[in-house]
Amino acid sequence: MNPLPRIDWQLIRPARPGKKHARVLDEVEPLIEAQVYDATQRVFGERELDQLRALEDRHDNATIASCEAAHAPRVEDDPDWETRIVDEFSETDTELELDEYLDLRRREFDCDRCPHASPFSLFPQDPCEISVGPLLVALDVRITTRLSEPMGPDDMIALADDLDRARGGEHIVVPGIDVADLMAKASKFLRFWARLGFGVRPEVVDSLSPIQTPDGPVGPLVTDHAPVYH
């Protein structure tokens, strides 16, 4: 049996209010895109990696993170957070002392308890993305052609409407996948993030180029830093 196609919907972060942030994005987005391409062609040195990290930091500071927009819970919001993090600390390879680790983790967003984390994501790699590849096999071409197209909020709502309609009709059975449930989760994902001003950039994972490292090619380099909806 051929493996199912892999398409991950990555969120496109909206810009923070103000022309200053829009100018930053106009500057850094093409630079990040160029560096990401370069990383698939040759091995980056430490200086180039530092430059890419700096560009990503500038991008992140000019945009709204998904956890922030969704008011995701913090670790310390859980009444049993300290016990949980102490257990986590015992299994973590870190040079921090326990008190330092607790102080660090308590204010972080808590993906384990976030109600908006997608059950069809690569959790815990990125709980704010959803993998919809099985729908390419299950649905009519009028919908499947749009699954791999970049979307702004209006496009996302339109696709969510079509998925809801398709869920009430016939579709191809995909072994091991509850297609109706995946359609429902995909529609919910699109509507929720569209309301918060996010877009979606699909990654057709099987077609992505691997990054070059001193030890050889390693996986695709996936980044959520272009484009951004102003």
Instruction: Domain of residue 25: give its range.
Output: 17-62
Let me know if residue 56 belongs to a domain.
yes
1 & 55 share domain: no
Question: Is residue 7 within 8 Å of residue 202, measured between CB atoms?
Answer: yes
Q: In degrees to the nearest 10, what's the CA dihedral of 43, 46, 47, 48?
A: 30
Q: Greater confidence, 89 or 169?
A: 89
Say yes or no: 38 and 51 in one domain: yes
Q: Which residues contact 142 (CB under 8 A, 6 or more apart)?
A: 162
Tokens of 142: 């009028």
**7 and 21 in a common domain:** no
Q: How confident is the model at residue 221 (pLDDT cuts 50, 70, 90)?
A: very low
Whether 158 and 46 share a structural domain: no
Residues 25 and 52 in one domain: yes
Do 9 and 37 fall into the same domain? no
**Considering only 162-166, 193-197, 205-209, which range has the smallest mean pLDDT?**
205-209
Both 8 and 28 in one domain: the answer is no
Tokens of 10: 């990555």
Rounded CA-CA distance 67/129 in Å is 12
Q: For the chain, how many residues are written?
A: 230
